[in-house]
Amino acid sequence: MSHVNQHISQLREDFMKGELSETNLNKTPDVQFEQWMQDAIDAKVNEVAACNLATVDKNNKPSARIIYLREFSDNEFYFYTNYDSRKAAEIANNPNVCLTFFWPELERQVRIEGVISKKAEAEKSDAYFNARPQDSKIGAWSSPQSKVLKGREELNSYIENNKAKYKDQEIPRPDFWGGYIITANYYEFWQGRKNRLHDRIAFTAEGGNWKIERLAP
């Protein structure tokens, strides 16, 4: 066994920072998520809006990557990306996705399953794009996301060409770039507890209501 494998096999961490019980749980999952997100912001969690987005391709092969949540309300979760990317192709094939947030500073995890039922409104995508820094706008135009490049130089050439093209003018949002909306139908709130006996409480959408269940750790 390598030194690295030996090290990670011996890692142990007892979670002692909180508990999650039915008595301190909000009975509406999006409100509970908002409360935990605020707790994470208050705790200055690093990259608090970062989450893992899992998708499945046409061959039922899963893939996952870190994205940034940019807005949420009423069980709808917004993120922005390139509509020609690998994730977009997989979403077009299968709109069922999963978001996972991990906030180690609070020993908490939230898993949200749902369906991407639509792309964000053009006005909302425009507003978010227009609020981005200039270099990020150039980046959106310059990256053929998920496509094979000959090298970094190819990407740099796209960047320089777009800088020249849009010099001293407003940069419009590309038609191939914008937002998606995930409508949640399942939440799982996980609070680390001592001896790996964690608290896990799930919300499942059923007929306009939410069924709440405690899961074994």
**Within its chain, how far is the Cα of 117 from the centroid?**
16
Residue 193 annotated to the active site:
no
Q: Which of 132, 196, 200, 214 is catalytic?
A: 196
Cα(184)–Cα(192) distance, rounded to whole angstroms? 23
Cα(200)–Cα(188) distance, rounded to whole angstroms? 7
DSSP conformational letter for 173: P
Three-class DSSP category at 80:
strand
Q: Please compute, for residue 212, the number of CA atoms within 13 A of its CA located in the half-sphere on the CB side.
A: 12
Cα(48)–Cα(141) distance, rounded to whole angstroms? 26
- Residue 150: CB partners within 8 Å, gap ≥ 6? none
Greatest CA separation for the chain:
59
The catalytic residues are 196
